[in-house]
Amino acid sequence: MKNFTKWQGCGNDFVLLDCLQEDIQDYAALARKVCDRHYGVGADGILVVLPSDKADFRMRIFNTDGSEAEMCGNGIRCFARYLYDFGLTKKTSFTVETGAGILVPEIVLADGQVRGVKVDMGEPHLLGEEIPVVGFDGQKVINQVMTVEDQEYHFTAVSMGNPHCVIFVDDAEHFPIYELGHKFETHELFPRKTNTEFVEVKDRKHVRMRVWERGAAVTLACGTGSCATVVAGILNDKLDREAEVELDGGKLLIHWADNNHVFMTGPAELVFSGELADCEAASC
For residue 85, give the CATH number of its domain.
3.10.310.10
**Percentage of the chain modeled with pLDDT above 70:** 97
As for how many domains the chain has, the answer is 2
Say whether both 256 and 144 belong to one domain.
yes
CA dihedral 256, 258, 259, 264 (to 10 degrees): -20
Q: Give the pLDDT of residue 284.
A: 59
CB atoms within 10 A of CB 171: 9
User: Residue 282 domain-assigned?
Assistant: no
Say whether both 143 and 242 belong to one domain.
yes
Say whether both 101 and 181 belong to one domain.
no
Q: Determine the average pLDDT of the residues in 253-275.
A: 97
Say whether both 103 and 227 belong to one domain.
no
Say whether both 93 and 167 belong to one domain.
no
Terminal Cα distance for the chain, rounded: 8
Task: Show binding-site residues.
Answer: 12, 63, 73-74, 162, 195, 213-214, 223-224
User: Residue 284 domain-assigned?
Assistant: no
Residue by residue, DSSP assigns 110-123 as ETTEEEEEEEE---
Say whether both 109 and 132 belong to one domain.
no
pLDDT at residue 282 is higher than 90: no
Q: Give the pLDDT of residue 279.
A: 62
Coil/strand/helix, residue 251: strand
Gap between the Cα atoms of 97 and 114, Å rounded: 23
Say whether both 62 and 154 belong to one domain.
no
User: Residue 283 domain-assigned?
Assistant: no
**Percentage of the chain modeled with pLDDT above 90:** 95
Chain CA centroid to CA 81, Å? 16
- Mean pLDDT of the chain, nearest integer: 96
Say whether both 139 and 106 belong to one domain.
no
Residues identified as active-site: 72, 222
Task: Show binding-site residues for substrate.
Answer: 12, 63, 73-74, 162, 195, 213-214, 223-224
Say whether both 138 and 233 belong to one domain.
yes
User: In which domain, by residue range, is 248 found?
Assistant: 128-260
pLDDT at residue 1 is higher than 90: no
Answer for the pair 15, 6: CB distance below 8 angstroms, yes or no.
yes
pTM of the model: 0.91
Q: Are strands 57-63 and 68-69 parallel, antiparallel or unpaired?
A: antiparallel
Gap between the Cα atoms of 240 and 270, Å rounded: 32
